Structure 1
Amino acid sequence: MLGELVAFLINLFIVEPIQTEFTSRLERLGAPPQVMQELTSCARAAQPVLVDTYSNDPVSGLWTVLSLWTGMTSFDTVLRQEVPACAGALDRARPYLEGLAN
Structure 2
Amino acid sequence: MFAKTTLAAFAALAVLGFGAAAHGETLSVKVSVIDLNLDSEAGAQVALRRIQHAANHICGDEANTRVLSRSMLYRACLRSTVDNAVASVHKPMLTAANEGSGQRTTILAVAR
What is the TM-score when the length of structure 1 is the normalising length? 0.33
Bigger proportion of residues as strand: 2
Look at both structures and tell me which one has the larger radius of gyration over its CA atoms: 2
What is the TM-score when the length of structure 2 is the normalising length? 0.32
Answer 1 or 2: higher relative contact order, Cα 8 Å, separation at least 6. 1
